[in-house]
Structure 1
Amino acid sequence: MKLAMKYVILYVNDFEQSMRFYRDILGLPVKMEAGTYVEFDTGATTLSINTRESVNELLGLGLTADVPAASSFEVGFVVEDVAAVIEELRGQQVPIVREPVTKPWGQTVAYITDPDGHFIEICTAVG
């Protein structure tokens, strides 16, 4: 079996707030939008958002606003200069969870959160 990651969908509480965060603050281009579902162009893998309410109506998954699943995974974005990106995001009042640090393997990483508390790693490429 060969699996290929094509997309990740984040379930959010406030569509407009999340849309502004990913489109306007992180600067991700919108590939497609349909109601409360939007896809952002991030390269080989698409990042999407949809409201928990819409997912419940369409799929019946039983998602609620108080589900702490946002802290059980992370989304990572590779950049050239982690410190510069973090400073730019700080200037836009994005919560910085972890300041940039260089790991023993040479990668620089920092963490922010989106409006729903999803962890986002801002990092340099490995190797």
Structure 2
Amino acid sequence: MNLSMKYLILYVSDSKRAIHFYRDILGLPIRAEHGTYVEFETGSTILALNTRESAREITQLDIPDTSASNTFEIGFVTENVEEVIKRVREQGVTIIGEPKVKPWGQTVAYIADPDGHYIEICSPME
């Protein structure tokens, strides 16, 4: 069996607020939009959003109304972590982990999206 990750779908409470965060604050281009379902270009893996209500209708899964459980994080790689953190801070995003160089040499910082999903902003692994 050969599996490859193609996309990740985040369930959000407010699609307009989430689109503003990912498109306007993080600068991710929209790849496709179908009602409350939106896909962003992020490289080889697509990041998608959908409202919890719509996702329940489509999937028939028991998706809770609460925000993220914080049991996972999304990682974005950039050459300049400090500059990204400065830019998002200026736009009112709360920084939950300031940039730090980890023992393995990678610079890592953490923010959260409007639904509380953890987002890691990190430098490439050399």
- TM normalised by structure 1 equals 0.96
Residue 58 of structure 1 is matched in structure 2 by 58
Aligned pairs for 1:1-127 (under 5 A) are 1-66=1-66, 68-69=68-69, 71-127=70-126
The separation in 2 between residues aligned to 1:91 and 1:115, in whole angstroms, is: 16
Q: CA deviation at 1:28?
A: 0.3
The sequence identity of aligned pairs, in percent, is: 56
The separation in 2 between residues aligned to 1:46 and 1:92, in whole angstroms, is: 24
Q: CA deviation at 1:67?
A: 5.4
Structure 2 residues not aligned, in runs of 5+ = none
The separation in 2 between residues aligned to 1:16 and 1:5, in whole angstroms, is: 26
Specify the SS of the correspondent of 1:72.
Answer: coil
Q: CA deviation at 1:68?
A: 4.3
Structure 1 residues not aligned, in runs of 5+ = none
Q: Which runs of 4+ in 1 moved over 3 A?
A: none
Q: CA deviation at 1:64?
A: 2.1
1:25 counterpart letter in structure 2: I
- TM normalised by structure 2 equals 0.97
Q: Tell me how large the CA RMSD over aligned residues is.
A: 0.9
1:120 counterpart letter in structure 2: I
Q: What per-residue deviation string (whole Å, max 9, x for no partner) do you get for residues 99-127 of structure 1?
A: 00000110000000000000000000111
Q: What per-residue deviation string (whole Å, max 9, x for no partner) do you get for residues 44-99 of structure 1?
A: 00000000000111112121222543x01000000011111101100000110000
